[in-house]
Amino acid sequence: MDARFDHRANPVGAKVVKHLVSASKIVWDSTLPAATRHLVEIRISQINGCAVCIDMHTKDAAHAGETSVRLHLVAAWREATVFTDAERAALELAEQGTRIADGADGVTEEAWTNATKHYDEDQLAALLCLVAVMNTWNRLNVITRQPAGDYQPGQWG
């Protein structure tokens, strides 16, 4: 499969990507636990059907030491026993924030309150920004049909 468009090669696309990379770096450099970040990146990408992001984030998570059991169970996190309460809160917030059009109220008060129990204000800000940035990356990649499968951990920094 070939991509429809190379947003990194286009001057406008490259500028946007540069800013998305900067926003992503802020999240990566935050105190949000890396394992939580990886799980959220994967789950959002699964929901949005972004193969290139699923490829990238599962490989990066595995490279960082995430277990194959947890990686395989991200899609069914509600039924899995391998995630912490904090990770579950992050995954719920990420799902509701990604599927915002599916709920009349967007993110429920229950999901929000649960997330605030597990994350301080800076971590919560990083989590919210991660949801927003990942949804943007997914949409860019899905719309342009970016191919998946050949990513190497750390390839994009």
Grade residue 157 by pLDDT with cuts at 50, 70 and 90: low
- What residues does each domain of the chain span? 11-143
Query: Which residues make Cβ contacts (< 8 Å) with residue 87, sequence separation at least 6?
Result: 35, 36, 39, 77
Average pLDDT over residues 68-75: 98
Cα angle: 139, vertex 144, 148; to 5 degrees: 90
Grade residue 16 by pLDDT with cuts at 50, 70 and 90: very high
- pLDDT beyond 70 at 14: yes
Average pLDDT over residues 27-44: 98
The predicted structure's pLDDT at residue 89: 98
d(CA 91, CA 111): 10
This prediction's pTM: 0.94
* Angle formed by the axes of helices 85-98 and 34-48, nearest 10°: 30
Measuring CA to CA, which residue among 38, 82, 83 is closest to residue 60? 38
pLDDT tens per residue across span 112-145? 999 999 999 999 999 999 999 999 999 999 999 9
| Residue 46 burial (CB count, 10 A) | 19
Domain 11-143, CATH among 3.30.56.10, 1.20.950.20, 3.30.70.20, 1.20.1290.10: 1.20.1290.10
Residue the block writes with tokens 């595995």: 62
